[in-house]
Structures are given as C-alpha cells and as structure tokens.
C-alpha cells in the first residue's frame, strides 16, 4: 500500500518530508517489516547486553552506572509488537557523555566535532577545529570517537536533537567531541536503528520539551539522554528494518529529485508564458499573448506559486495601462493632477496646511516603461491627501488596557478580511500623542517593518483606532484614486 501510493503522496506540498516521517513512524512501531516468531526476542538481547556491561565493568573499562528508574506504563508512547521491549537508552550503551571543552590549536593531528559538524546525513568536518595534544587527556576513558558511535547535538536552537553516526572512515580519524555534543556508544544493537529512532517524529517532537535553558542556549541534559526511552526490536528484526528504511529513503531521494526537476521545469514554463504578457507594449499585443497563455491554464494553475505569479503579472499589467483599453474621452491624468494641486494651494492659502518643499522633477531615465496617452508619471506623494500625509504610528504602545484605544498591528492587516476590531489596545494617553495616525476607516495601511509591503484597508469598525510604528497610513488625494493606489502598491 505504501509503495503503491508513494509517488502520489510525493506530489503534495511537503509530500516527500511527510513520507520520510511516515516511514520512520512505521519502522519504529514495528509496522514496516513483518515479525518473525523465530527471532530471538529483545528480552534475551537485553540479558546479553547486561552481561557484556558487567564484563566491561569487571575489567575496569567502564564504570557502573546508577540504576535507572523502571519504565511506567504511562511513559510508553505506543504499543510494541511481540518480542519487542521498551528500554532506557542508558541500559543499551557502554558510554553516554557530553564531550569536553577543548583547548584549540592552529593545527594538529586531531580535530574536534562541534554541533555544526553533526548533520543528519553524517559528519561534516569542514567546520571542525584542531585540538592540542595536551588536552586529549580530558577525553579518557573513551579517547577518540569510534565507528558506530552516535553523536547527538545537545545545545543550540535549530541544531539541538540532530544526530549522526560516526562512519568507519571517521572512526579511525582521531576525532573527539566538544561539550555541545553527546557521545552515545551502543552495545550489541544496531546503531543505525537507534539513529533512525532519534530521527523519528516521536523523538524530535519531544526534544524542545525535554530541553532546558534560555531560548538562545537550550540544552538536552545528559540525564535526559540516559533516561530516554527506546523501542527495542529483536536484533534480526533491527537489521531487516534498517535495510527496508534505507531502501525507502533512497526512493524518497529519487522522488524528491524528480519533484525538484519538475518544479524547476514548471517555474521555467510559467516564467516564459508570463514573460510574454509583461513584454506586451499595447493592449492589442497583450490580447494576442493572452490567448497563448490561456491554452496552458491547466499547467499554470496547478501550483500555488504559479497562481501568485499570475496575480502579480496582472497587477503589473494593470498599472502599466495594458489591461483595459484607453478611452480618449476620459479626463486626462494631467487634469486630475491640476485639481489635486489646486486643492492643495487652497488649503495652503487658508492656512490649513503648510507648503512642502518642491519635489524634484522626474527624469526620463527614472521612468521604467512608456505610459499610454493621457497618463502621467508623478511622485507618489503627489497622489496623497494634503491634509493626511503618509504617517507612521505609535512607537511604544505599552501594555493592553481593558478600556483602551484599539491598536492596529501588522498581523491585523488584510485587504479582504480584516478583523472587526484589533485585539490589542493602548491607553488614551498614548493615543493622544499620535493624533495624526488616528483612523477614520478606509485608509490604506502598509507594513514597513518585518512584513514589509503587507497591505490592508482599515474597515469602518476601526474608526478611532491607532496604528503601530511598523505601519504607515496612506490616504489618496481623491476618492477615485483609492483602488488604483491599492493596486499600484500590490503590484510593486
């Protein structure tokens, strides 16, 4: 069933990643390969591991650990197949410890593995630094990393929980681990199975919850690693699971590569088709090119990113005057500008506003494309209401108050579906400091910090609210300009 549907699942957004998670989930639950009643059960394997640990302790090669707590039923995340056992990681290993803080050298025979070196695909020694020979004594009793050791990142936001295995090649390279990496040395079990368990969604989803410390430096304590639960299959089944997982992961790699190739080819097709539209110089030429694009709508509209690209293309065509034919009887843009300037002069003459500094004339090299007859290039500020210049809101909003003034943040912005009222509020005293950005409803709002360019239109229910400093308020000089300015900003 899984194999027959893998290619279909892989075509969904994030499908290959979900497939990998599903494969690991089935593997560690004992559902990926059939159980064999003839397999020696995990309970017998545990006895052998304990006997081997006792031998190593008797020979002085390892120290006796403190007994680990019994596993309660409430700790077990799922039921195991017959022959499997829940066990703590410390009972499966001869050594679990964080590395040491080394003394670095410019060059030496040995290198230190840091959390940057530990990648899911294996060790990356490019960031590894050298360690002085004198500081190697810190790494007793295990000295150097061995093939089959599992390295588990124990610190660092974004890297904590990542793990890899030391290969045979690296196991003879004289490597040591630094204090941000936990070294796990399993006994008589498959290191590959253990690595895949750590990689599974069960473990990775718990890492952040198990970690402690600040956001900048969270840590996975050694005691947490030692006590970590592992579902232990019979040794023979571990081998079958690893073989099956690796085969399916290779298939996922192939599906991912195929998907990336198809995505690149689709993006190229979309770029070519939409490029013919933006290359149009007249509405008639655009109409001809549009017919070509319409023939491939089934290909264009099967991916969200293609729909977004088509939307942006249409907006660009609109603001270039190519989307609809011009009507020679329309009042020209220059006449509209004269009315706006006349109204501004009237407000200056009556003392309602101050005269601004003249804006520099627009040079030919500034103009990105030719405009239709009747259109004009203008500075954006010439389109703004003279009594409501572009303004930025409240710098320090302070805490919410139950009877406060509604306060608009970037998260509230939406052109089509804004909330009826902003969730956050500010005190009337803070609001009084920013009367210029108090809303009446209908204003265009745009994010200028963080989500730069995010647009919204203030609904009438926001009348009396104020805006954050991360938002600018835009009010066109003429009601008829409102929708066009909105489209202009959306197409930039």
In DSSP notation, 308-353 reads HHHHHHHHHHHHTT-SS---TTSPPHHHHHHHHHHHHHHHHHTTSS
Q: What is the tens place of the pLDDT at every residue in 2-23?
A: 666 777 777 777 888 899 999 9
d(CA 287, CA 309): 18
Mean of the pLDDT values across residues 388-393? 92
The pLDDT confidence band at residue 491, using thresholds 50, 70 and 90, is low
**Cα–Cα distances in Å, from 313 out to 26, 141, 282, 316?**
45, 65, 15, 5
What is the reported pLDDT for 187? 95
What is the reported pLDDT for 215? 44
The pLDDT confidence band at residue 307, using thresholds 50, 70 and 90, is confident
Burial group, residue 454, by CB count within 10 angstroms (0-12, 13-18, 19+): middle
What is the reported pLDDT for 86? 97
Helix (H, G, I), strand (E, B) or coil at 252: helix
Over the chain, what is the mean pLDDT?
Answer: 88
d(CA 165, CA 147): 8
The pLDDT confidence band at residue 65, using thresholds 50, 70 and 90, is confident
CATH C-level class of 384-491: alpha beta
Among candidate residues 422, 417, 415, 421, the one with its CA nearest the CA of residue 397: 422
Which DSSP helix (H) or strand (E) runs through 123?
strand 122-123
Handedness of CA 206, 208, 209, 210 (dihedral sign): positive
Q: Tell me which fold the domain 40-233 belongs to.
A: Adenine-n6-DNA-methyltransferase TaqI; Chain A, domain 2 (3.90.220)
Handedness of CA 481, 482, 485, 487 (dihedral sign): negative
d(CA 439, CA 180): 52
What is the reported pLDDT for 210? 56
pLDDT over 80 (residue 135): yes
d(CA 68, CA 294): 68
Asked if 211 and 219 touch (Cβ cutoff 8 Å), the reply is: yes
Out of 131-135, 298-302, 456-460, give the one with best mean pLDDT. Answer: 456-460
Omega prior to 276 cis, within 30 of 0: no
Mean of the pLDDT values across residues 326-339? 88
Which range, of 130-134, 201-205, 212-216, 428-432, averages the lowest pLDDT?
A: 212-216
Mean of the pLDDT values across residues 365-381? 89
Q: Which residue has the higher pLDDT, 318 or 193?
A: 193
The pLDDT confidence band at residue 413, using thresholds 50, 70 and 90, is very high
The pTM for the full model equals 0.63
Q: Domain map of the chain by residue range?
A: 40-233, 254-319, 326-377, 384-491
d(CA 400, CA 68): 48
Judge whether 40-233 and 384-491 match in fold.
yes
Q: What is the tens place of the pLDDT at every residue in 21-63?
A: 999 999 999 999 999 999 999 999 999 999 999 999 999 888 8
**pLDDT above 90: percentage of residues in the chain:** 50
Pairing type for strands 118-119 and 122-123 reads: antiparallel
Q: What is the tens place of the pLDDT at every residue in 212-267?
A: 554 445 688 899 999 999 999 999 999 999 999 999 999 999 988 888 888 888 78
d(CA 334, CA 228): 74
What is the reported pLDDT for 357? 86
What is the reported pLDDT for 212? 52
Q: What is the tens place of the pLDDT at every residue in 157-174?
A: 778 899 999 998 887 888
d(CA 195, CA 186): 11
Among candidate residues 244, 235, 223, the one with its CA nearest the CA of residue 84: 235
Among candidate residues 246, 251, 162, the one with its CA nearest the CA of residue 211: 162
Neighbours of 486 (CB within 10 A): 18
The pLDDT confidence band at residue 336, using thresholds 50, 70 and 90, is confident
d(CA 22, CA 156): 27
């Amino acid at each position: 069933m899984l194999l027959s549907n893998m290619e279909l699942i892989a075509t969904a957004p994030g499908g290959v990643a979900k497939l990998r998670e599903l494969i690991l989930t089935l593997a560690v639950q004992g559902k990926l390969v059939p159980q064999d009643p003839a397999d020696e059960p995990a309970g017998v394997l545990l006895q052998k591991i304990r006997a081997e640990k006792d031998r190593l302790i008797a020979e002085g090669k390892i120290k006796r650990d403190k007994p680990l707590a019994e596993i309660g039923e409430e700790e077990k995340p799922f039921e195991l197949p017959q022959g499997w056992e829940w066990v703590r990681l410390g009972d499966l290993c001869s050594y679990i410890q964080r590395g040491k803080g080394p003394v670095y050298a410019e060059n030496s025979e040995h290198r230190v593995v840091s959390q940057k070196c530990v990648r899911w695909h294996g060790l990356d020694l490019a960031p590894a630094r050298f360690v002085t020979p004198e500081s190697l004594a810190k790494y007793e009793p295990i000295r150097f990393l061995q093939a089959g050791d599992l390295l588990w990142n124990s610190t660092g936001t974004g890297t904590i929980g990542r793990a890899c295995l030391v290969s045979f090649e690296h196991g003879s390279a004289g490597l040591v681990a630094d204090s941000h990496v936990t070294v796990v040395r399993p006994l008589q079990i498959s290191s590959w199975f253990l690595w895949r368990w750590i990689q599974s969604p069960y473990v990775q989803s718990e890492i952040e919850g198990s970690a402690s410390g600040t956001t900048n430096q969270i840590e996975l304590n050694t005691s947490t690693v030692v006590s970590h639960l592992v579902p232990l299959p019979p040794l023979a089944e571990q081998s079958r699971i690893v073989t099956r997982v690796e085969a399916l992961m290779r298939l996922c790699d192939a599906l991912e590569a195929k998907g990336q190739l198809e995505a690149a080819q689709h993006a190229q097709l979309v770029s070519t088709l939409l490029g013919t539209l933006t290359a149009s110089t007249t509405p008639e030429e655009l109409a001809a090119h549009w017919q070509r694009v319409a023939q491939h709508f089934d290909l264009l509209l099967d991916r969200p990113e293609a729909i977004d690209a088509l939307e942006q293309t249409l907006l660009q065509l609109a603001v270039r005057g190519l989307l609809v034919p011009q009507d020679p009887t329309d009042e020209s843009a220059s006449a509209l500008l004269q009315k706006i300037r006349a109204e501004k002069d009237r407000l200056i003459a009556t003392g309602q506003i101050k005269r601004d500094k003249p804006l520099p004339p627009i040079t030919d090299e500034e103009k990105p494309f030719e405009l239709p007859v009747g259109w004009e290039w203008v500075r954006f500020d010439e389109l703004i209401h003279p009594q409501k210049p572009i303004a930025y809101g409240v710098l320090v909003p302070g805490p919410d108050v139950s009877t406060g003034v509604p306060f608009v943040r970037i998260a509230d912005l939406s052109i089509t579906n804004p909330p009826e009222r902003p969730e956050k509020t500010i005190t009337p005293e803070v609001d009084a400091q920013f009367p210029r950005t108090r809303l009446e409803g209908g204003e265009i709002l745009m994010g200028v910090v963080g989500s730069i360019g995010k647009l919204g239109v203030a609904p009438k229910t926001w009348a009396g609210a104020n805006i954050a400093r991360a938002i600018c308020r835009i009010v066109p000089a003429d009601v008829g300009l409102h929708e066009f300015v909105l489209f202009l900003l959306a197409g930039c």
